[in-house]
Structure 1
């Protein structure tokens, strides 16, 4: 039902209710007024009869009372009048004319109680009557002393009663006529009021219904509806304001939705309501922006991947996933984050998702990836992302049910948002790592360089002192290296240096640190070694190098090396001093014939 019809119905109901109440009140008041009027008339008549009978008794003409009463009955609307004698009067004077005793129960009740009694017989479509029975009680007060004539009566005794019956049809007819006229007038007024209200509020109610229709559409996400066909100036103004507001809202939402969404991956589950889409997009942008600002200040690439994993768990609700980096230049894959365990042989056999650059979904084709050896009881979802020309990132997500995999499929746009955001940070961190590595490594041999030693020496010393770990120090140099450069050229010299690096790597442990100190000199820091072990390893390296063949054009050559050793912290509690001592020992080896290992001793300081 339209609002207009509801209000008109309400107005009719209220007006009709007021009309009914008015008529009921009018009928009640007319009846009450008519009864009171007749009641007053009856009392006046009863009092007149009382005084007349008293006068007749005093003057001795009481026998004429019958004529007097019959004459009163000729008055308009008077039906009957009769007297009823009380017991004291009957005992003293008899029953009187026409048995002036109680005729019915009402007379008896009044004579007994001495209280007035009235009875109204009302009928809408037939005659209506009013009866009143008024007692005459004995009194010695006033102008007439009842006790003078009624000597057997006491004060307050009921001497008799007068009963008067009257017709109230005239009063009823007047009341009905008045009520009918009033009803007609009220009905006409009600119709006029309803007409005026309808005429005055119809334009506003029509606009209200239109607004309600427009708002219902807007609630469903459709802001294209407008308020149509307004009537009246005020309604047209309201409609114009609302239409203008809706136009601005629709255009703004469309523009915001289209412009903001370009910063994010398209979401296939867009809502119909542009306002909700804009809110969701802004929320996504806010989350992605906060993620980006956070990872920009992370120190290492490992922190970035850990932060991305935190987003996967807290924002996306994923519980089992791994991240892999694919080096497209060297065809090498590295696990950069493992949440629980590795399910496939991706590190050794490569990745199908990365190779084909497509999403791999095991729910679409069972065992689609043959290298996933532990995936029989789980579903896997592998998504490749290109980070740069040299690096791809593969996100592997593992689920227990197809429904969970379906949810992961719906999360792909959100995952891509965070990956895209992290791309530049990952690339910049990798470039920084490369620059740092280049700054700290020797490009010819791939070994750490002197700068690395200078930057790391304090950390190495602190670790050694804290754990009470000794280091053996080797200072290595190729014998007569300048002659190689002069005779065969610098290319062969570079080959010789590479062979030294190769020999050192082959004979040292992963915990040892091999450094190209400069030119043909190398330093090796041997972790947790005693003096004998250092001496033994030095000879092993020297002998291994002597057996190496160095390419020199169409032939090969062999060279020897000299090695000086020292021990930290036994020779000195200063690592730099120990490096100098190893250099002194090397110098001694060179001066005393080359191709030998010399350990530092205090006597070398005297030379």
Structure 2
């Protein structure tokens, strides 16, 4: 029920209530008035009868009293009038006339106690008021009743019963009440009509505001409220329209800007307000995500945090994160949230032939959600039902640095299509951070690596030495330190130039890397001097490795302009912590052994012994 109907119903109920109370009060008033009026008439008629009977007795015409009663009956509204004699009168004067019949129960009570009684009765639909008035003997006044009647003072001599018809009075009362009802009803209708004229603009404006608000809750702020009056209600309509217009314009501008940021196109049938709120929340969450990953130390931590976003915020449980290695390889970073897991959703050939990956090759998103089968490299396992995928490349320095692959069951593809723009926001925030981390790692790696040979440099050793030593002590494993130096390397530079010298150093670096394990450290210590740290190797094993290196270098042939060079190498060996409690001292001891090898004729391996040390306890 709207406001207009409620107000109309309220005023109608009030009017009906007033009408009902007015009728009830009127009927009660008329009844009370009728009873009071009838009582007065009955008392007057009874007094007239008493006076007539007294006068008739005085004048000796008491036997003519019946004629008086007959004439009295001609009074309009008087239905009956009769005289009752008490037993005292009958005993003194004898029985009365036939009309002075035996009293009924009410009349007997009046004759007995001398109190008047009045009754309102309904006889055959006619309202009748009956009153029985007693006549008491009294010596006061004229005539003196005790002169004729031998009774004591106050004795009831008789009574008069008068019956009045109230039918005419009743009709008059009902007519009057009817006139009142009609008058009040007409006035009420006029009042209700006037109220509706005043209230209707309020109700109509309220309904219009309600409809506009309902549209606004659905994201549509184009609803307007018609201005019906020039008072406060009209002002409400005007201000409401201004507010809706402001919100509509503001939401449109916000939606336009947010759409530019997210790339998501609003749908005509969706709640624009809720969609905009979702997009703004996504932008805020993505900004928080970017702030968090900017403080991460490595790209691995960033990928791990993004995996958490896919799992927790977007409920994507199946996905792969690939990182490009060189121009032809892809490395799986995380698969289904597991770091370092093997390739699962694609042909493993993409790991060695990255051009098979459509996103890697084109640098564009591959939407297998809408176009299944667009990428031939997508090979999900047969178990688990049909799958669809969405692959997004992350561009770094103009090339694809990473590929994010999202995989969902076929029935969830439409939901992921809706989520894709929000995921793009995270990827857009993540891309520059990944690029910065990549550049930082590249710079860091270049500062720790020898540019010509590709080996780690002395700075790398200085930075990681504490970690290396702590690990060796914790695991209680020995470290073998080899210091190597090419024999007569200066002759190569002097005779063939520095380009030939560089070629020899590069070839030597290759031999050293091939001869030792991946866990061992090969370092260009400076010039033609190299250092190798063998982990978990005792002295005997270390000597064997050193000898293999010496032999491999001796067999090495380096083609330079106009000549083939063959070089030898001298190697000094010491053990940590057997030979020294400090790692740098162990390096010094290996260097001492190297010089002993040089002194002994070069092209040999020399193990450090305490008698070689002449530093008088000096530390390196």
Whether TM-score is above 0.5 comes out as yes
Q: Is this contact kept in 2: 1:440–1:450, CA < 8 A?
A: yes
Q: CA deviation at 1:108?
A: 7.9
The answer to whether structure 1 residue 335 and structure 2 residue 335 are counterparts is no
* Greater Cα shift, 544-553 or 232-241: 232-241
Cα distance in 1 between the residues matched to 2:94 and 2:540: 166
Give the aligned partner of residue 245 of structure 2.
247
User: Equivalent of 1:561, from 569, 573, 590?
Assistant: 569
SS in 2 for 1:335: strand
Give the aligned partner of residue 97 of structure 1.
97
1:568-592 CA deviation, whole Å, 9 max, x = no partner? Answer: 0111110011011111111111111
SS in 2 for 1:563: strand
1:406-429 CA deviation, whole Å, 9 max, x = no partner? Answer: 322322112111111100000000
The verdict on how the C-alpha distance between 1:220 and 1:142 changes in structure 2, with shifts beyond 3 A counting, is farther
Q: Is this contact kept in 1: 2:110–2:117, CA < 8 A?
A: yes
Q: Is this contact kept in 2: 1:325–1:393, CA < 8 A?
A: yes
The verdict on how the C-alpha distance between 1:557 and 1:190 changes in structure 2, with shifts beyond 3 A counting, is same
Cα distance in 1 between the residues matched to 2:484 and 2:123: 140
The verdict on how the C-alpha distance between 1:182 and 1:488 changes in structure 2, with shifts beyond 3 A counting, is same
Give the aligned partner of residue 262 of structure 2.
264
Cα distance in 1 between the residues matched to 2:59 and 2:295: 133
Q: CA deviation at 1:496?
A: 1.3
Number of positions where the alignment pairs a residue of Structure 1 with one of Structure 2: 599
Give the aligned partner of residue 517 of structure 1.
525
The verdict on how the C-alpha distance between 1:90 and 1:560 changes in structure 2, with shifts beyond 3 A counting, is farther
Unaligned runs of 5+ in 2: 616-620
* Greater Cα shift, 253-262 or 76-85: 76-85
Q: CA deviation at 1:554?
A: 4.2
The answer to whether structure 1 residue 347 and structure 2 residue 347 are counterparts is no
SS in 2 for 1:606: coil
Give the aligned partner of residue 396 of structure 1.
405
Q: CA deviation at 1:543?
A: 0.5
Cα distance in 2 between the residues matched to 1:82 and 1:375: 120
Give the aligned partner of residue 552 of structure 1.
560
The verdict on how the C-alpha distance between 1:81 and 1:544 changes in structure 2, with shifts beyond 3 A counting, is same
1:373-398 CA deviation, whole Å, 9 max, x = no partner? Answer: 63443424141323222334222334
1:245-289 CA deviation, whole Å, 9 max, x = no partner? Answer: 222222111112112332223155576444333322221111111
* Greater Cα shift, 509-518 or 353-362: 353-362
Equivalent residues in 2 for 1:77-476 (5 A)?
77-83=77-83, 96-98=96-98, 100-102=100-102, 116=117, 118-121=119-122, 128-134=126-132, 136=134, 162-267=160-265, 272-327=270-325, 329-338=326-335, 339-340=337-338, 341=341, 342-343=343-344, 344=346, 345=348, 346-348=350-352, 350=354, 351-354=356-359, 355=361, 357-359=364-366, 361=368, 365=372, 369=376, 372=379, 374-378=381-385, 379-388=387-396, 389-399=398-408, 401-476=409-484
Cα distance in 2 between the residues matched to 1:97 and 1:298: 132
Cα distance in 2 between the residues matched to 1:561 and 1:428: 42
SS in 2 for 1:396: strand
The verdict on how the C-alpha distance between 1:77 and 1:589 changes in structure 2, with shifts beyond 3 A counting, is same
SS in 1 for 2:456: coil
Cα distance in 1 between the residues matched to 2:139 and 2:476: 138
The verdict on how the C-alpha distance between 1:370 and 1:59 changes in structure 2, with shifts beyond 3 A counting, is same
Q: CA deviation at 1:320?
A: 2.5
Q: CA deviation at 1:223?
A: 2.0
1:166-221 CA deviation, whole Å, 9 max, x = no partner? Answer: 12244234424533443454345335434543444454445444434433443443
Q: Is this contact kept in 2: 1:256–1:278, CA < 8 A?
A: yes
SS in 2 for 1:444: coil
The verdict on how the C-alpha distance between 1:476 and 1:98 changes in structure 2, with shifts beyond 3 A counting, is same
TM-score by length of 2: 0.84
Cα distance in 1 between the residues matched to 2:135 and 2:512: 149
* Greater Cα shift, 383-392 or 449-458: 383-392
The verdict on how the C-alpha distance between 1:438 and 1:292 changes in structure 2, with shifts beyond 3 A counting, is same
Equivalent residues in 2 for 1:36-55 (5 A)?
36-46=36-46
Give the aligned partner of residue 30 of structure 1.
30
The verdict on how the C-alpha distance between 1:86 and 1:381 changes in structure 2, with shifts beyond 3 A counting, is farther
Q: CA deviation at 1:104?
A: 6.9
- Calculate the aligned-residue CA RMSD, in Å: 3.8
Q: Is this contact kept in 2: 1:380–1:396, CA < 8 A?
A: no
Cα distance in 1 between the residues matched to 2:422 and 2:77: 100
Q: Is this contact kept in 2: 1:569–1:575, CA < 8 A?
A: yes
SS in 1 for 2:613: helix
* Greater Cα shift, 362-371 or 13-22: 362-371
Cα distance in 1 between the residues matched to 2:73 and 2:514: 152
The verdict on how the C-alpha distance between 1:415 and 1:159 changes in structure 2, with shifts beyond 3 A counting, is farther
Give the aligned partner of residue 618 of structure 2.
none
* Greater Cα shift, 32-41 or 201-210: 201-210
TM-score by length of 1: 0.86
Q: Is this contact kept in 1: 2:480–2:573, CA < 8 A?
A: yes
SS in 2 for 1:334: strand
* Greater Cα shift, 548-557 or 357-366: 357-366
SS in 2 for 1:562: strand
Q: CA deviation at 1:291?
A: 0.6
* Greater Cα shift, 418-427 or 202-211: 202-211
Cα distance in 2 between the residues matched to 1:274 and 1:236: 29
Q: CA deviation at 1:29?
A: 1.9
Unaligned runs of 5+ in 1: none
